[in-house]
Chain A
Amino acid sequence: MSILAILEQRDGVLHRMSLETLAAAQQWGAELNVPVFAALLGPGVDAAAQSIAAYKLERIHTIDHDLLNDYTPDGYLAALKPLIEQHKPRYVVFPHTYQVRDFAPALATALDRVLVSDVISHRVENGALILTRQFFQGKINADVSFEGEAPYFASIQAGAFRADTLQPGSAAIEKTTPDIKPEQIRSKPSERFRESQRAVDLTAADLIVSVGRGIRDAENIPIVEKLAAALGAELAASRPICDAGWLPMERQVGSSGQTVAPKLYLAVGISGAIQHLVGIKGSKTIVAINKDPEAPIFEVADYGIVGDLFEVVPALIEALQKK
């Protein structure tokens, strides 16, 4: 019995969520009293494996092959399915990255299992894990247990476990060259690219005013611009605002935009879908203004105003201008 953490790396550098996933695997391993293994794939695996070799792990599997040089779901499936079949881990755990979302459901399906995706916490009952994940974009928590035989698959949400809890130790590294055939790879990825250089660096901002769907119309954007100006803050937005073209993409905060860590993050009309919350977790103080008292943003807010932003924001500007 064991836990296998399948981590993400690129050219020898771990994805920032990989260590959090490793921390989750270690905690589960300690609570279930089972050893933890890690697996890394693709070019750069040796350097990536070295970077986790001083943690308490039973073994690190490094998997490399010419056909893994560019990520494809087919290639990853061909590499990982035999590893799982051979080593028979009880739990297989991934970071919930875009790449994992692309291949892990297919991998679980190929083994006739369901991946419990985007897990935020866990507990152990009768020697088995019960995992909590969120429904309705964070409005409801669901406790999920596995049925039938192992392996059991789960992916871990960004920020749910802390990398600084990792236990030191030493890990043996075992190289594997999987048997992948060119005809198994059906998709052909091209080089990665960026559309434009980011002119706005929100990651360095001390104060951020961020706007979401609650603003209702492009015409209303000046209301939050005024608030940002009154505070001397950068203006940011949730994804729908940038998708609609009401603010440029470079001002988007969240899993598909920038990850920010200001002293003050003031969220106006943002409900707090998880894709947004993962981008603001590092903020020192979070303030939410929303008309819905049940909005998930209030769960992470230090201060909140429940009310109509079209009344609250002008009142706030007025209060800020009074010394």
Chain B
Amino acid sequence: MKIVVAIKRVPARDSQLKINSTASGIEESDLSWEINEPDAYALEAGLQLRDRVSGEVIVLCAGPEAATQSIREALAKGADRAIHIETTSSLTADPLTLAGMMAKALESEKPDLILTGLQSDDLGYGQTGVILAQRMGLPHATLIMNIEPAGTGIQVKRELEDGWFQNVDLPLPALLTIQSGATRLRYATLMGIKKAKTKEIRRVAASDVNDPAAPRIRINCISLPEKTKHSQIFDGPAKESAAKLVDKLRFEARVL
């Protein structure tokens, strides 16, 4: 089975974000980066499936040159090769533009299955996978917890709201967005890291796959959210803060 896993490089989870001087985005220079966590679960699901049914896992990543680090990490975990769509920034494209580039970059690959995380931890549109499926004319299912081969297709376990689930049968080729946390993530082994250095990364210039159509949405500006509540924050020594809080909860909020 030929499995493509689309991953994104995002700022590390605890990053202190600074808005840039034009309020058009964040300062990207001083950040540390990691593979978007939901995509790491998609990669894990892809690797597990390949190990069961044989085939190959191809990592697809759109991002700047520095995203090579995330791609190498995915290769070190066991992906067989990679496609890197080289863009100037990780954070600018809307999901339609991004999925359009991915669809074009995958034209020659004809994968059986495309996996990606349910959303990115940075822009969080939660749409790139579904748009990619629509662009490539593939059936899709979202929030997938488990994938089982079933005849010529697959059966997936889909998470619904309020603790409900549903099995869905899909023909191949298909696209799935993977829910986080359904399985344990593997670590790269030393051997894996060594091998990753020799694995193929096909580089695709964004300009070669970009759809020249005008964008449909525009980010006017970004800002820090205003507090919706008037919060009382204590940031002194732990004991002092704890005593103040208990006092407030007893006599002001009166919830104890």
Residues of chain A having any CB pair with chain B under 8 Å: 73-74, 97-99, 101-103, 105-106, 108-110, 112-118, 130, 134-148, 186-195, 198, 207, 231, 239-240, 242-244, 249, 255-257, 263-264, 274, 284-287, 292-294, 296, 298-308, 311-312, 314-316, 318-320
Contacts and interface: CB of A to CB of B under 8 A. Distances in A.
Given A144-B218, A190-B168, A264-B256, A106 B140 contact: yes
From A74, A188, A198, A239, residue with most partner B Cβ within 10 Å: A188
B231 A143 contact: no
Given A102-B140, A136-B122, A303-B249, 14 more contacts: A105-B95, A109-B134, A118-B126, A137-B121, A240-B180, A300-B229, A302-B253, A303-B232, A303-B233, A304-B234, A307-B238, A315-B239, A316-B246, A319-B246
B141 interface: yes
Contacts of B169: 187-190
Contact of A189 (B17, B26, B168, B255): B168
Interface stretch (B1-9, B57-65, B66-74, B209-217): B209-217
Contacts, number: 255
Contacts of B166: 189-193
B217 A145 contact: yes
Interface stretch (B81-89, B106-114, B200-208, B219-227): B219-227
A37 to B, nearest CB: 22
B30 interface: no
B212 to A, nearest CB: 13
Given A141-B223, A306-B234, A320-B246, A194 B134 contact: no
A318 B246 CA distance: 10
Interface of B: 11, 14, 16-17, 19, 26, 94-96, 99, 121-127, 130-131, 133-135, 139-143, 158-161, 163-171, 180-182, 213-225, 227-229, 231-235, 238-239, 241-243, 245-246, 248-249, 253, 255-256
Given A98-B160, A102-B141, A308-B238, A301 B231 contact: yes
From A101, A240, A314, residue with most partner B Cβ within 10 Å: A101
B134 to A, nearest CB: 4
Contacts of B228: 299-300
Contacts of B168: 187-190
20 contacts: A98-B161, A101-B143, A103-B130, A109-B131, A117-B127, A136-B124, A146-B216, A146-B217, A188-B169, A189-B166, A191-B166, A192-B164, A192-B166, A193-B166, A263-B255, A298-B233, A301-B233, A302-B231, A303-B245, A318-B239
A315 B238 contact: yes
A292 B216 CA distance: 35
A140 B225 contact: yes
B218 A105 contact: no
Contacts of A303: 231-234, 245, 248-249, 253
Contact of B159 (A98, A145, A298): A98
Contact of A135 (B16, B124, B214, B218): B124
A239 B16 CA distance: 22
B181 A143 contact: no
Contacts of B127: 101, 105, 114-115, 117
Contacts of A118: 124-126
B255 A285 contact: yes
A276 to B, nearest CB: 13
Pick the 10 closest A-B CB pairs, nearest first: A243-B181, A315-B242, A186-B139, A105-B127, A311-B238, A105-B130, A306-B235, A109-B134, A188-B169, A106-B134
A315 B237 CA distance: 10
A194 B159 CA distance: 10
B48 to A, nearest CB: 16
B138 to A, nearest CB: 9
A137 B134 contact: no
Contacts of A191: 166
A140 B217 contact: no
A251 to B, nearest CB: 12
